Structure 1
Amino acid sequence: MELIERCVYNPPTPPKRTREKPMKVLALGMSRSGTESLSRALRILGYDHVFHGFEMWESTPMLWRSWTMLGRRKWGNAGTAGGRSNITREDFDNLFGHCEAITDQPGTLFAPELISAYPEAKVILSRRDVDTWYPSLCTVLRPITTGPFFHGSWERHGKWVYEQHSATIRGSVRPDRFLEWTVEDGWEPLCRFLEKDIPAEAFPNGNTVDNTLGAFNNNVDKCVASAVRNLTISVVCVGVVVAYGLGGHRVNWQQWKLGFKDKMQLWKHDFRGRTLIMAITMASCQAFLLLGFDQGVMSGLVGADNRFGRDFNNPDANMQGNITALYDIGCVIGSIVSYFIGERMGRPTMLMLGGFIMVIGTIILATSNTVAQLIVGRIVTGVGNGMNSSTAPVYQSECSPASYRGTLLTLQGTVTILGVVIAYWMDYGTSFYESSFQWRFPLSFQAVFAILLILQVIGLPETPRWLVQHDRHEEARAVVAAIEDRPLDDALVSKTILDIQVGLEEEQRGGPFSFKELFTWGEVQNLRRMLITISIELGQQFTGSNMINYYGPVMFQETMGMDRNMAMILGGCIQCTYLVGSAIPVFLMDRFGRRTLLIICSAGLCLCFVMVSILLSLNRMDCAYGATAFIFIFQIFYGVGWLPVPWFYPSEINTTRVRTRMSAIASGWNWMAVFAVVKITPIAFDNIKWKTFVIFAVLNAAFIPMVYFFYPETKGLELEDIPLLFTKGGITGGVYSSKGGRTVMPGQHAQETRVNEKVEGVVQQVEDVS
């Protein structure tokens, strides 16, 4: 607590109160012994302002701090004299000088001090049979305090503490000022002791377990809403300052801006070589970690009789599909935004902008009270994710060495599944809470990943190809030198820059970019590249993997007859298996290539879903368990091939001139396919049950010839060399590239000649200067 006050938030001390009216009643029974019923009864009897523990939940941090300070004086070293607390009447008056009575915690903790401070007050010890009190205490207070961590201590000491507390009170008060009372006693002994007339209304029996937990949950909701509101204000203010400072052009900010930018560009000072490459890889992977978390977080919330369902009126299958799938429409919108502004803004800027939008979307989600607001939040977060998912592969592919580019890009798929795993188990962990914390916390946690993404990208360079394309050649040379960890005038740095320049010159011979050139065959074959780009994105989604990722628990419940808890556990375990499968291609991608992994994995996916369909059709529980095993195997096959390749393959096969736009198109089609799968899955499960798997088995079989005939192999090639794969082979370029045709192709020698001529020219200029 002291560490939090010093480093995070130090609430001010509340203003001091003076005793406005005499303290008349000290109700010092422990929580869950009828204290709330007694508090209501005292109010009915006319006592003005009865302080109860519930008041602490609704108070400001100032009041909490005052009670904490009293606790330190009682149990800490400060303020003790001869082993006794020196808390005085004035200290209590400062806290509740406006009250005539006090009940429940935290006053009960200071029972001896209160009795000593107010000797004229009457003392009531509310009692309850210890064997019924203890289970009630455990049911209510343990889940909302420290019970999960100190369960053993509660069981060993709870009843003993209760009896000791009661004995202490009995021995501290004169009999004429003391009443031992139970809720069952009702009005008569209470009114006789307090010298009050018995009211006409019934005694207020209340504060059941449900009422207490409900009150706590409502206060948690208020706290969450308040925290998110404050976070919104902070994020917006920081965003305005950063945008104004880094993007503004006002004269009085210019010197500060230039100095700040130079200090933040870590690659100029500390990050070089492999360190810089890994920093770029980590930033790109952070975008995909966020993507995976978003994909998995809704799976543990929808389709169950939980707080999420009750808060949003138990949405049916169609509405569940809308809540889950409209996020993908937001991703499509984000991809479209990237198409139009991504090339102008640059890769790191787009990632930071996408992260900022996701923080805003998370805030909307975390404060949702209606389905409409929830859907809006999902769409906004989708926009940010669409921008990130269409930008990160381009950023990483343009900064990665050809020799292990596939390995680095494959990491994006691995961390995507890591995000899904985190989301699944976080959903499972919070499922035991009955408050809206159950779903608000997982949805809010997206902001953590988004903020980390923004922080990771700050200080990283733009890609050399983007800089050359925008005539910033000196900066491009500096970035290449930093990536290669070589001097600016090194021959390899010069050749890399010249390769990029020659490639861009070849691409720009047709003049300024026009949208219609994407639909032309011609020498560059953009239309062929675009068809491959779109088909691989559709293929990734129509394998059926997102049917499992988004609706794993629902699938186990509705098609396999499992209960919710087992379905949640299996969903999490499947994602852990998925994570293992996604790590395998890190070691295989640059050894076997893209085509081989896609073909083998398509066959494996088809076989798994065929077996799932057969086993589920038998309608037996033992067969359902067998089908579950094939679902696990399916996730491994998918993680090896169809998970990583479609995310980076479009960035490899498209030219620098259209790479950003093609990546945005790929991302857009990918998210539209996700929307289709996510939307139809709950409806398919409702209507055709296990036959849903048959459909995806057929689609996986169809992907084998598609990859074999049409997808060229890009393993080990520089990005500037990959366009040469499209100079021959027509629509069967996949077969052509796999048979070695890519090693010698028309146009290759001509390009090398132009590069060599430029190198010789540069060398001659250097000699002339020297």
Structure 2
Amino acid sequence: MAGGPTTTAGGVSNASLAWAIIMSAFAAFGGILYGYDTGTIGGAIAMPDWLETFGSFDPTGALGATTGNHYLKTSNKSLVVSILSAGTFFGALFAYPMGDMVGRKWGIVASCAVFALGVGLQLDVKWATFVVGRFIAGLGVGLISCLVPMYQSECAPKNIRGLIVGLYQLAITIGALLAAIVLNSTKDFPNHNAWRIPIAIQFAWASILGGGMILLPESPRFLMYKGRVDSARKALSRLTNAPADSAAVDAELHEIELALHAESSLGHASYLDCFRNGPYRNGLRTWTGICLQGWQQLTGINFIFYYGTTFFSSAGIKNPFIITIITDVVNTVMTVIGVQLIDRVGRRRLLLIGAAGMLLSEYIVAIVGVTVGQAGADGSVNLSAQRVLIAFVCFYIAFFAISWGPVAWVITGEIFSLNLRAKSMSLAVASNWLWNFGIGYATPYLVDPSTKGQPNGVATAGLGVKVFFVWGSTCVGCLVFTYFFVPETKGLSLEQIDLLYKNSTSELPSSFILVSAPADRRVFSF
């Protein structure tokens, strides 16, 4: 599934724990917006009333047999699911000017208003309005996906930065779980309320996030970046629960000022500078972030969360909405575990463990699905095979939830230098949404049975459960990429991560040695 910080240091050194919790709770609602929307559209397109309103009618009864002969064309299914990701792609790119000109705090508030407009348009019964609404909502989600973790990382205590930024991914899983519960409650409504109620609930998430952010302080690092020292001092005073003229606030401001001065000496940074390998190896860092976000999507996780309901239905499972709730519960519970492991086990090690676990689980799902999991000639299904399929889909989700789900966001929030961080982060998050769009759009063509030769038929690959061979193979790529290109950043401040890249002993990423961090320890252990 699909944030990233822009900071000068690894969070606030002496932040009040109470403020850290409050700030994280409100800001994490950005993840709920995306997770809930993802889960909502996945269930809505399987509802009879939604299909009757926006779908097509098959008089032969060959399509839509369980939904009154109403079905959604493969092309329209691809469009309505993936168009949100197209909007988020552009929203993520716009996050740089929004975050650096308006600010982290007010940028999030404005993004909530954009998202709410998109939600309102989705309550209409016209296909074009519904699709446009999803695109506009995507713009808001894309902005929020950059600005929320950006804000979190800049204000979080550095010793629990990974935990707090990882809460963004946890919020995504909670949003998806809430969507599954609401959809299961409204799916049998005989009118438009079946899908309008789940969509309209998104107004509440936007209101809570936007209203909560109004009450929180602006990022002190953004304020210092803009030269607003007095405002930064007040913001730090609130975050640290210390007097504005205290030694703790003075020390924090001094640390930020030193980092700003060091990076301003490099001159004005452009998007082109993101790809130049100067003293701080910004090109390597930008490509690492872009590729890491791309590989997160290529794990195939959004196949389950976008199309899980229809996939389980096609596999012969009687109540796919319940199975969707089960997978969302697994995702949420394991993400809770995962975010606690980030600062203990380490970023790099979790990514390696997660990639290995996912590829094994997905290959097992694919093998079982194409052997004993096929329906019989009389339509009968192998219940044991179904249970194995569901179990290993849950294992696959669990490995993702403890690793690539939260850790990808944490790393891409840590590895960029200050003068390029907003630009590089927007490029990395845009990569996530671009792959999200591509996978969301292509999946129906990969998975759905071909209707070529029928009226309005569409030729597809018809892979069905075989698509898990594809996702398993992409997880091999995740494993290889992590092994060679991802450093361990556990326990390092963001300034120390700058030194990691600056003082590496070779141009090859696999031989980075951190010479200025505590204990001069090696961050790549092969």
SS of structure 2 residue aligned to 1:657: helix
Which residue identity lines up with residue 528 of structure 1 in the other structure?
Answer: L
Instruction: Supply the distance in 1 between the matched residues of 2:284 and 2:25 (Cα, whole angstroms).
Output: 32
Q: How does 1:38-437 map to 2 (within 5 A)?
A: 273-304=16-47, 306-313=48-55, 314-366=71-123, 368-437=124-193
Distance in 1 (alpha carbons) for counterparts of 2:223 and 2:246? 19
User: Residue 430 of structure 2: which of 668, 688, 708 is its match?
Assistant: 668
Q: Please say which structure displays the higher CA radius of gyration.
A: 1
- Tell me which of 553, 578, 583 is aligned to 2:336: 583
Matched with 1:529 is 285
CA contact under 8 A between 2:496 and 2:517: conserved in structure 1?
no
* Structure 1 counterpart of 2:445: 683
Whole-Å Cα distance in 1 between the matches of residues 478 and 118 of structure 2? 36
Task: Return the offset for 1:684.
Answer: 1.1
Q: Give 1:516 deviation, angstroms.
A: 1.8
Structure 1 residue 570, shift from structure 2 partner: 0.5
Runs of 4 or more off by more than 4 Å in structure 1? 729-732, 739-742
How far did 1:584 drift?
Answer: 0.4
Query: What secondary structure, in the 3-state scheme, does the structure 2 residue paired with 1:690 have?
Result: helix
SS of alignment partner, residue 121 of structure 2: helix
Shift of 1:569: 1.0
Q: 2: distance between equivalents of 1:589 and 1:491?
A: 31
Aligned to 1:623, which of 355, 368, 385?
A: 385
> What letter is aligned with 1:641?
S
Offset of 1:745 from its aligned partner? 6.5
CA distance in 2, matches of 1:671, 1:492: 39
**Which stretch shows the higher mean deviation, 371-380 or 721-730?**
721-730
Partner Cα distance (1:516, 1:288) in 2: 30
Q: 1:462-520 CA deviation, whole Å, 9 max, x = no partner?
A: 11211111111122222223322223333332222122111111211132222221121
Deviations 1:100-155 (A, max 9, x none): xxxxxxxxxxxxxxxxxxxxxxxxxxxxxxxxxxxxxxxxxxxxxxxxxxxxxxxx
Q: Which residue of 2 aligns with 1:639?
A: 401
**Contact kept? 1:710, 1:731, Cα under 8 Å:** no
**C-alpha spacing 1:706/1:742, structure 2 compared with 1 (3 Å):** farther
Q: Distance in 2 between matches of 1:471 and 1:554?
A: 53
Give distance in 2, aligned partners of 1:476 and 1:741.
Answer: 28
Measured in 2, the distance between the counterparts of 1:403 and 1:497 equals: 18
Shift of 1:741: 7.6
Residue 742 of structure 1, CA deviation: 4.3
* Aligned counterparts of 2:163 and 2:431: Cα–Cα separation in 1: 25
Instruction: Give the length in aligned residue pairs.
Output: 469
Tell me which residue corresponds to 1:13: none
**TM-score, normalising length from structure 1?**
0.59
Is this contact kept in 2: 1:577–1:632, CA < 8 A?
yes
CA distance in 2, matches of 1:440, 1:561: 27
CA contact (8 A) 1:553 1:571 kept: yes
Contact 1:538 1:669 in 2 (8 A): yes
- 1:346-368, Cα deviation, whole Å (9 max, x unpaired): 101111011011111111111x2
Cα distance change on mapping 1:525 and 1:740 into 2, 3 Å: closer
> In structure 2, what is the equivalent of residue 736 of structure 1?
512
Select between 668-677 and 483-492 the one with higher mean Cα deviation: 483-492
Native 8 Å contact 2:219 2:232 kept in 1: yes
Q: Quote the Cα distance in structure 1 between the aligned partners of 2:96 and 2:148.
A: 14
Deviations 1:699-734 (A, max 9, x none): 111211211221122212222222011021445446
State how far apart, in whole Å, the 2-side matches of 1:416 and 1:299 are: 15
Decide whether the 8 Å contact of 2:275 with 2:287 is kept in 1. Answer: no
For 1:682 and 1:354, the matched residues in 2 are separated by 30
1:685 maps to amino acid: V
Which letter maps to 1:311?
T
- Is structure 2 residue 345 aligned with structure 1 residue 602? no
1:562 aligned residue: 317
Q: Residue type matched to 1:562 in 2? A: I
- Cα-to-partner distance string for 1:667-718 (whole Å, 9 max, x where unaligned): 2111111111111112111211222111110111121121122112221222
Whether the 8 Å CA contact 2:362–2:468 is kept in 1: the answer is yes
Stretch of structure 1 that moved more, 616-625 or 636-645: 616-625
Evaluate the alpha carbon distance shift between residue 740 and residue 579 of structure 1 in structure 2; reply closer, same or farther with a 3 A threshold: farther
CA contact (8 A) 1:500 1:720 kept: no
- The alpha-carbon deviation at position 660 of structure 1 amounts to 1.8
Contact 1:299–1:551 (CA under 8 A) maintained in structure 2: yes
Structure 1 residue 445 corresponds to structure 2 residue 198:
no
- TM-score of the superposed pair, with normalisation by structure 2: 0.86
Q: Considering only aligned residues, what root-mean-square deviation do their CA atoms show, in Å?
A: 1.8
Q: CA deviation at 1:423?
A: 0.6
Q: What amino acid sits opposite 2:328 in the alignment? A: Q
User: What residue is the counterpart of 2:453 in the other structure?
Assistant: none
8 Å CA contact 2:492–2:517 kept in 1: the answer is no
> 1:499 aligned to 2:274?
no
**Cα displacement string for residues 555-578 of structure 1 (whole angstroms, at most 9, x for unaligned residues):** 1122x2223xx1111111111111
Task: Report if the CA contact (8 A) 1:390-1:666 is conserved.
Answer: no
Match of 1:460 among 216, 235, 239: 216
Give the equivalent residue in structure 1 for 2:237: 481
Looking at structure 2, the residues matched to 289 and 601 of structure 1 have their Cα atoms a distance apart, in angstroms, of: 23
Cα distance in 2, alignment partners of residues 734 and 651 from structure 1: 21
Could you report, residue by residue, the CA deviation over 1:168-209 in whole angstroms, capped at 9, with x for unpaired residues? xxxxxxxxxxxxxxxxxxxxxxxxxxxxxxxxxxxxxxxxxx
Counterparts of 1:712 and 1:732 in 2: how far apart (Å)? 12
Paired AA for residue 736 in structure 1: F
Please list every run of 5 or more consecutive structure 1 residues that lacks an aligned counterpart in the other structure: 1-271, 747-770
Q: Is the 8 A contact 2:339 2:406 kept in 1?
A: no
C-alpha displacement at 1:651, in angstroms? 1.8
- Alpha-carbon distance change, 732 to 595 in structure 1, aligned in 2, over 3 angstroms: farther
Instruction: Give distance in 2, aligned partners of 1:407 and 1:657.
Output: 25
How far 1:282 moved relative to its partner?
1.2
2:472 maps to a residue whose letter is A
| Conservation of the 8 A alpha-carbon contact between 1:303 and 1:320 | no
Q: Distance in 1 between matches of 2:160 and 2:97?
A: 31
Q: How far 1:421 moved relative to its partner?
A: 0.5
Percent identity between matched residues is 27
Give the C-alpha shift of residue 275 in structure 1: 2.1
AA of the residue aligned to 1:675: F
Structure 2: distance between partners of 1:730 and 1:740: 12
- Give the counterpart letter for 2:316 in structure 1: G
